[in-house]
Amino acid sequence: MTKPIIEVKNLAKNFDKNVVLKDITEQVDPGQVVVVIGPSGSGKSTFLRCLNLLETPTSGQVSFDGQDLTTLDTKRVNALREEMGMVFQSFNLFPNMSVLENIKLAPMKVKGMGNDEATKLAHQLLQQVNLDDHADAFPTSLSGGQAQRVAIARALAMNPKVMLFDEPTSALDPEMVGEVLNVMQDLAAQGMTMVVVTHEMGFAKSVADRVWFMDDGYIQENSTPADFFAHPKTDRAKDFLSKIL
């Protein structure tokens, strides 16, 4: 039995009286790709942010690599958080830095990597996302698809054990969605553990190991994509799929 890399036990989260996550117990094994889907407002982003403690759970446990993050002090949470790359819908690149500098920043500042090594790493990662010819460009000159690929390269620069994606293609023009999904698919094929919130059902079908359907504060279904799309078990999932497919 492999040990899970992420383990969530009885996770609950409210914002005041708004109970967003009610009781979630799930795990992610190393190398797995989990796609989280569900209606808007069902708590997908909140759930993802609880995984790296960007949101503090109201109750329950979130373990990463065998350590319960909810019991650790800020310093140790920060250290573990470095091992979880996160990519958001909005790319959040530093506008005043070149693409190369954006990628070099965290390894140099946080890990104390030297300039030469960081430069080499950044070029390698830019090749991986097919953007090495844009190393000296500034974020404002990039298309959305290019910016998102830089954001992925930047997250990878910290050599994370897990990548969390929150609707990484939702802000993109349709013609740019594919180039970002391709990079994510490559990453999955290389064995990266990934938790991906997305509405891209094609990606879920072809890349996910598991689909988690979230609604009403629970993971209502945890299935293989083949099972989920062919035989959704709950009325909620059937209703959701009828609206999006």
Q: Which is nearer to Mg ion, 113 or 194 (CB)?
A: 194
Quote the CA–CA distance of 240 and 191 in Å, as a whole number.
Answer: 30
Quote the CA–CA distance of 219 and 206 in Å, as a whole number.
Answer: 21
For 87, the 3-state DSSP assignment is strand
Q: Which is nearer to ligand ADP, 18 or 96 (CB)?
A: 18
Quote the CA–CA distance of 98 and 120 in Å, as a whole number.
Answer: 15
Kindly indicate which of the ranges 38-46, 157-165, 182-190, 229-237 contains the residues binding ligand ADP, using the contact rule CB under 6 A: 38-46
In 3D space, the residue among 71, 65, 68, 80 whose CA is nearest the CA of residue 28 turns out to be: 65
Q: Which is nearer to Mg ion, 30 or 39 (CB)?
A: 39
> Which one of residues 3, 10, 15, 76 is an interface residue with ligand ADP (CB under 6 A)?
15
> Which one of residues 8, 20, 184, 207 is an interface residue with ligand ADP (CB under 6 A)?
20
Contact status: 45 vs Mg ion (CB under 5 A): yes
Q: Which is nearer to ligand ADP, 42 or 148 (CB)?
A: 42
Half-sphere exposure of 135 (CA within 13 A, CB side): 15
Contact status: 46 vs Mg ion (CB under 5 A): no
Contact status: 107 vs ligand ADP (CB under 6 A): no
161-to-15, 34, 122, 203 alpha-carbon distances in Å:
29, 14, 18, 21
Q: Which is nearer to ligand ADP, 15 or 94 (CB)?
A: 15
Contact status: 44 vs ligand ADP (CB under 6 A): yes
Contact status: 63 vs ligand ADP (CB under 6 A): no
**Looking at residue 66, what DSSP letter applies?**
T
Count Cβ atoms below 10 Å from residue 126 Cβ, excluding itself: 20
> Which one of residues 28, 35, 37, 42 is an interface residue with ligand ADP (CB under 6 A)?
42
Kindly indicate which of the ranges 15-23, 85-93, 99-107, 198-206 contains the residues binding ligand ADP, using the contact rule CB under 6 A: 15-23
> Which one of residues 5, 26, 45, 196 is an interface residue with ligand ADP (CB under 6 A)?
45
- Interaxial angle between packed helices 174-189 and 144-156, expressed in degrees from 0 to 180 and rounded to the nearest 10: 20
Quote the CA–CA distance of 195 and 171 in Å, as a whole number.
Answer: 18
Window 54 to 113, contacts with Mg ion (CB under 5 A)? none
CB of 94 to Mg ion, least distance (A): 23
Contact status: 94 vs ligand ADP (CB under 6 A): no
Taking the alpha carbons of 89, 93, 98, 100 in that order, is the dihedral positive or negative? negative
Q: Which residues bind ligand ADP (CB under 6 A)?
A: 15, 18, 20, 38, 40-46
